Structure 1
Amino acid sequence: MGGQPRFTVGLTGGIGSGKSTVAELFAARGVTIVDTDQIAHSLTAPGGAAMADIVSQFGPEYADATGALDRARMRQLVFADAAAKTRLEAILHPRIRAATEAATAAATGCYVMLAIPLLVESGSWRARVTRVLAVDCAETVQLARVMARNHLPEAQVRAIMAAQATRQQRLDAADDVITNDAGLDALTPQIERLHQLYLTFSTGMAPNGPQRL
């Protein structure tokens, strides 16, 4: 890249919005996808770079029999204890940022898309990407998708949604929006139009305002 900054898109959306499907469609067009959830999982897998600090901070009971993070136990703790959530983030977030920056620098795709579920909530990611793309759908659609996919009761899904940024907060933070209420046939043309727009931006033309497709 000759030392020039990469054109990067921050992809975000609420649980059940279809971020993974959108990322796969961009990847099929030659875009490098850097998934911060996957990075977090690798950091907290058996032997992961964050596990020693997590066990030191929270105790050995937060590692499972394989040495990976006991996600259910940790999820229960951080939902109930804001200070614990802050301590966990202090361990994970700098490592996630460093791994994301390394993956972006090594990317060979036409541009880089960073899949960041909590982009809006984190506050710091917005300054690290060129544009923000939000995947949007009705909250009733989110609810139905997550209940069917994860076999969770409605109350638990609603609690997860309530802990995330609101739909309006994501829309307000976004430069571009993809609507994912109506299936693949409606999604694909939106992806293609935005991909062409991003290719233009990645070759040096300045972004020219929000796109709602």
Structure 2
Amino acid sequence: MLKVGLTGGIGSGKSEVSRRLSARGAMVIDADKIAREVVEPGTEGLARVVAVFGDEVLRQDGTLDRERLGSIVFADSERLAALNAIVHPLVGARVAELQSRADEHAVVVYDVPLLAENGLAPMYDVVVVVDAADEVRLARLVGVRGMTEQDARARIAAQAAREDRLAVADVVIPNEGSLEDLDARVDDLWAELSART
């Protein structure tokens, strides 16, 4: 089994690369998706988040208001650390469960947004960083995701600096061009990863 850590700053296109690797046969374990699952209604994770942040982080239907919680934690590093202390162990346990299902020849891609921030690079055989300039990421977050510029800048600032992500990379996928350019880069990456299994 080849363990691939895939990361990139918010708005870099990491999710596009993740989808393309999955389509080529990789087993993708998406930490963000799992992080959402562990705070669904009725879970221990959601109960613990509400105990720390209060009922104001819940929507009327009882689901977590991720935008509201995000606006709280991305403006306050101590509050972000408190949230991470709740969510990360739960995500880790679920990742271990999923990983146990992979066969010995699998390419397992761990889609981990905070890989550099949390010093996780040593956990993987290969670290792939999807890279785009901060200005490009900001334009995507505002133009495609509909964030305010202030919120987008706060989220970018809350993550590792671009240089820190690049410092842990074994492979860098530049993503400032077209989706066709990205497809070609992912084809090359898949060939390289497949050859290592």
TM-score by length of 2: 0.91
Residue type at the aligned position of 2:64: L
- Do the aligned residues in 2 keep the contact of 1:11 with 1:116 (CA within 8 Å)? yes
Q: Which residues in structure 2 correspond to 1:28-107 (within 5 Å)?
A: 28-107=23-102
Q: Percent identity?
A: 38
Pairwise CA RMSD: 1.8
Structure 2: tracts of 5 or more residues without a match: none
* Residue of structure 1 equivalent to 2:3: 8
Residue type at the aligned position of 1:43: V
Matched, 1:115 2:111: yes
Q: Which protein has greater RCO, CA pairs closer than 8 Å, 6+ apart?
A: 2
1:140-195 Cα deviation digits (max 9, x unpaired): 22121111112223233222212211111111110101111111221122211211
Residue type at the aligned position of 1:101: A
Residue type at the aligned position of 1:115: D
**Cα displacement (A) at 1:73:** 2.9
Matched, 1:166 2:166: no
Paired residue secondary structure (1:74): helix
* Residue of structure 2 equivalent to 1:156: 151
Residue type at the aligned position of 2:108: V
* Residue of structure 2 equivalent to 1:27: 22
**Cα displacement (A) at 1:129:** 1.5
User: Whose radius of gyration is greater, 1 or 2?
Assistant: 1
Relative to structure 2, which stretch is displaced further, 33-42 or 62-71?
62-71
Residue type at the aligned position of 2:117: E
Give the total of aligned pairs. 196
Matches of 2:63 and 2:114, distance apart in 1: 22
Matches of 1:137 and 1:76, distance apart in 2: 24
**Cα displacement (A) at 1:85:** 2.2
Structure 1: tracts of 5 or more residues without a match: 1-5, 203-213
Matches of 1:62 and 1:169, distance apart in 2: 31
Matches of 2:75 and 2:101, distance apart in 1: 38
- Do the aligned residues in 1 keep the contact of 2:71 with 2:151 (CA within 8 Å)? no
Matches of 2:41 and 2:160, distance apart in 1: 31
Paired residue secondary structure (2:144): helix
